[in-house]
Amino acid sequence: MGFADLRKEYMQRGLDESDMDADPFRQFATWFDEARAASPVEPNAMALATVGADGRPSLRMVLLKGADERGFVFYTNYESRKGRELADMPWAALTFFWPEMERQIRIEGRVEPVSAEESDAYFHSRPIGSQLSASASHQSEVIAGREELEQRVAALSAQYHDQEIPRPENWGGFRVIPDAIEFWQGRANRLHDRLRYRLLASGGWQIERLSP
């Protein structure tokens, strides 16, 4: 079968303005809870798009680790490619896709680091193995082989045996502070529903319907 023959018809439901909460963060929470019930395997997985100082974009999957009226939080190595790009160009786009519900959410906005206290709290909530991996990995850098990485982990494991592992200074969270959040619902014949919340200068949100 060729790519052109791959096709799925979206038939589950529609999306009307009357269905939407006036607050996009409450609407996100509603959809996320429904996605978690429908798709229990990492419903918090999201595509993160950044752009370098040279204008070249990059995209990868990360995990949402916090969401409230302040924005959407994920954690990474600040010296990774995405970390360097966000330092140069502090704007990003996120996309969640939940095929079981025929839904996606797109988020755009500026990005800022979370506080050191927030990063510390999340780092020490992670399994010890994940803490060691974050400490050992020089994310996005070329390495000679996997053995090099495993040796770093083993050395750190021995160094911090029965001790708290300190959060690396180059590891922590970013918060995407949105100025646009779009809720997409698949519909038949590709006539999809798209409702976008756009942040106004007054601080309120305006809901707009976009053509599919």
Catalytic residue positions?
Answer: 190
3-state DSSP call for residue 159? Answer: helix
Count Cα atoms within 13 angstroms, Cβ side, for 176.
31
- From the number of C-beta atoms within 10 Å of its C-beta (0-12, 13-18, 19+), residue 57 rates as exposed
CA distance 107 to 109: 7
155 and 132 Cβ atoms separated by less than 8 Å: no
Residue partners of 106: CB distance under 8 A and separation at least 6: 93, 94, 95, 180, 181, 182, 184
Rounded to whole angstroms, the Cα distance separating 212 from 187 reads 10
Alpha carbon distances (Å) from 84 to 79, 118, 140: 6, 20, 10
- Taking the C-alpha atoms of residue 75 and residue 66, their distance in angstroms, rounded to an integer, is 10
